[in-house]
Structures are given as C-alpha cells and as structure tokens.
Structure 1
C-alpha cells in the first residue's frame, strides 16, 4: 500500500507543471493553431466576398461587404446545365459512401484472420500488403485501368468504388490494431458459444473503432474530391468535383463562383474530421488493449 502511494505521488509530481510553463505551452498551441487555421479562414472569407473585393489590391484578408451572390451565381450556372446539380451530388455521395464503407468492411474482414489466425501464406500475404504501400496511386493507375477495362466497368461508378475498397493502408492499419486485442477475450467468447461472425461484429469491431474511424477520415476526402479521372466519361455519371472544376474554368468572371466552390468542397471533409477528431487522437495515442 505504501509502495502504491509512492508511485502515485511520483506520477502526480511528473504531471504537474508550473503556471508559467502552462501559460507558455497554451500560447504556443494557440499561435500554431491560428497558423493552421489561416487557409480555412481565408477560404471562408473569399466565398462571401463580392467580385470587386476579390481583385482589390493590396488584397484584404477579411471580407468587408459579405454577400451570398457567389452561391446564387453557382446555382444559376448549374441550373443552365443539362445535367442538374442534384445528379452530380448523388453521384458523389454514391461513390463516397459505397467506396468508404466498402473499404472499411473489406479491410476489417481481411485483417481479422491475418491478425488472429496463423495459416500457410499469411506472412507472405501481409508482406505483399506492406510492399504495396510503397507504390504511388499514379504508378498503379495503368494497371487499375486495364483491370477495370477487362471487367467492363469503365464509364461506371464501379471503376471508382472497387479500387477504393482495395486501398492497402486500411488492411495494414486494421491488422495492427486487431493484433492488440487480447486472445483471451476471443477464446472466452468461443467457449460461451459465440460464432466467428458474432465475435467479429460484437467484440473485434467495437474495440478497433478508432482505427476504422481513422480510415473513414482518410478515405472520405479522397473519394469526395475525385473527378472521375479517366474512368468515367458520361456526363450524367460525373462527380460534383468535376462539375465545379468546369465552372471555375470560366475565367475571371467566375472567380467568385470558384471561391464558393472551394468552400463547398472543403466543408464536408472538415465537418467529418471535426466530428471524429477525438477518435483520431485516440488512434494516434493509444497502444491498444493488453493481456
């Protein structure tokens, strides 16, 4: 009992800081936090600037006469298109939702046997996964196109969803987290009669929630910001990012609309990150469960 008291005293003494040090640390974090927020604040201000303020020299950081004209102009421009704005939104939501959720499920189900079972070839499979992390998406673009073309999925949403589901980082991250779940918990569940599916959904997935929330934040912006690239050609299958990029190519007259477009594209991923940031911090700081 006396030993525990000494340990507790040492821990408390280690965590305590003097007031000046705490104030300096707080100011340090505030300064760097403001520095990181500058691009976001600037984008928000630009979206509400009238056209004359966007081109004023020297440029002003904050908006003086806020207006919603940029957003009204965006709606008007999209209203003249033969493909409605709602269709671009729907395409983007379909690709982002199915690609992100499918990636999390596929990575989790593949990582579970690799993390908790030893079978012939398991180390080789994981080594291939780790090796694939070395290759840039630009390197695998041509093989992806050839595979999608062979399957007949070019000019369809599947050509964007299926490759996103096979993102190797997800499998690597989920395996590392699942390895930290004590085997004794899984064995106890098996003794109680739980099936492998029950163990996976009721025990494993809740315990690796920080990991798959991190995957959600990593994969969602990639799919949300895709424009279809060389895989989708039909206008009615294009994404929101593609449509908004075409609007911004209209020149100086559409600079305000371009600022509104930038804010729209940034808003959704940032909102998702703000909602899930506590779990991301937990993912980076925790070392998982231990026996």
Structure 2
C-alpha cells in the first residue's frame, strides 16, 4: 500500500513537471511566434485596434519591401549576405580545428607547464567579452587587419570554451585505443583525424552550434573594426535597418522580416546539429 502511494506521488510529480516545462517552453516561444506573425502581416493589420497577435492574411510584401530597400543602398544586400556566410564558414572550420588540436594535446600529452596552460584557459573563461574589447582592438589595429576578413575571424580563433569542452570529452577516450592505433603504425595526424575527431563528434557539434550563432549574429566586429561598408556583415546591416524602422509602426513588419532572415539560419543550424549530437551519442559511444 505504501509502495502504491509512493508511485502515485512520483507520477503526480512527473505530470506537474511536464506541465510546468511545457508552459515555460510555450512562453519562451512567444517572441519567435510574434516575429514570424509580424513578418507576414500586411500593412493594414499593423494599424488594427485592438492589435492582433496572429496574422489574419499572410503576405510576403514585407520581404519584398525589405529587398527593395536593400537594393536602393550603395552596398547590395548580397554583399552583406556573402560576408556573413564566408566569415561564419571560415571561422567555424578554424575554431573546430584549432580547438580540437589544443584539447587533444592538453588532454592526452605531457609537457612542461601543462598545468599553467590549463589554468590560463580556466582564467580566460572568467572574463566578460566587454573587458577584452580594447586589447582586441589594439591587436587588430596593430596587425592592420581592419577592413579585412582576417579581422572578422581573428577574435574567434582562440575559444577557451571550445577547448575546455573538448578537453573533458577527449580525456574520456581510453588511452588503450590510442596505443592500439599507434601499434598499427598510425602517425599523430592520423590518430587525430581518424580517432580523436570522430569520437569527439558530439562535442564538435555543440561547438559548431554556439560558434556559428556567435559569428552569425555578431555586430560588434563590423562596428568596431570595419569602416569599409563592403566588409560588414548581414547582422550589422539588419541591426542598422531595424534601428531605423523600429520607431515607426509602418516599418515594424519589415523589421520583423529582417530579424527573421537572421534568425532562420541559426534555427536551421541548431536543429541540424542537435540531431547529429543525439545520433552520435547513441550510436558511437566510447567503450
């Protein structure tokens, strides 16, 4: 009887927990639903009183007006888009490569001052991004990397979060696996590419998600280091556009459309790699 009551209590708690988490998830989705509805609202629905949350007659007119507005600028919309795609792709590849190489050495190799290197990585995690803006600006200016793609990529190359995450993951790989592949005559490069990287796929997918999101939505690099308009990214252009439109009701749907264009690649990237993380964790465990 006591066991039956205990089971009932556990089930009641589970139901309450699921209901609470569902309500919280729906609440957190409200801004996304609002932006999507606003992006597809026709002009006349923006002036309805009382205002409506959901769109009644969806239209693509907001996106058409957005591209017409972008086409009237000196720098074409496609240039901002290309900059964002190019910078995000190069940065993502280099961050994964450098972080994985550093984590492999720190997790599996012995060398002088290894503890000091680990301590420096831990200390760097404590600094807020705003505290390193001046040193970052001085470095980029000293390297004459202003108005270059290198200036976009450089601030992200040293990622202590990525290295820290990968160290914990790579450290779990048994040393016996590494010794076994060494006995087969594998070089360090082959060990890294054929063993370390595949077994670290879940961590690499996670790093890919937050690195891409950080680079894709970055506005500060274009604002601080890029005076040439042709070197600025889509996030900067959309931020400037929204700042000029958000104070007028008539421009709200165009601003929402611009925000949606920036948001969608992040959502696609997250969904794509989330499935990859789950599949990799289930099917390729380290034994």
TM-score after normalising by structure 1: 0.87
Contact 2:178–2:191, Cα closer than 8 Å, also in 1: yes
Q: List aligned pairs for 1:89-108, cutoff 5 A.
A: 89-108=81-100
Give the counterpart of 1:134 among 122, 126, 141.
126
Is 1:185 paired with 2:177?
yes
Quote the Cα distance in structure 1 between the aligned partners of 2:280 and 2:167.
Answer: 13
Is 1:159 paired with 2:156?
no
Is 1:257 paired with 2:254?
yes
Match of 2:186 in 1: 194
Quote the Cα distance in structure 1 between the aligned partners of 2:229 and 2:14.
Answer: 56
Provide, for residues 154-176 of structure 1, a one-character-per-residue CA deviation record: whole Å limited to 9, x for no partner.
12121120111112111111111
Q: List aligned pairs for 1:1-291, cutoff 5 A.
A: 26-227=18-219, 228-248=222-242, 249-250=244-245, 251-252=247-248, 253-280=250-277, 289=286
Contact 1:214–1:283, Cα closer than 8 Å, also in 2: no
Quote the Cα distance in structure 2 between the aligned partners of 1:57 and 1:275.
Answer: 40
Q: Tell me which protein shows more helix as a share of its residues.
A: 2
Provide, for residues 35-83 of structure 1, a one-character-per-residue CA deviation record: whole Å limited to 9, x for no partner.
2322211111111012332343433211112111100000100111121
After superposition, the CA RMSD in angstroms is: 2.5
Gaps of 5+ in 2: 1-8
Secondary structure, in 3 states, of the residue corresponding to 1:107?
helix
Q: CA deviation at 1:229?
A: 2.2
Gaps of 5+ in 1: 1-16
Q: CA deviation at 1:182?
A: 0.3
Q: CA deviation at 1:18?
A: 8.2
Quote the Cα distance in structure 1 between the aligned partners of 2:223 and 2:190.
Answer: 40
Provide, for residues 236-286 of structure 1, a one-character-per-residue CA deviation record: whole Å limited to 9, x for no partner.
11111122223221441422210101111111101111122245568999x
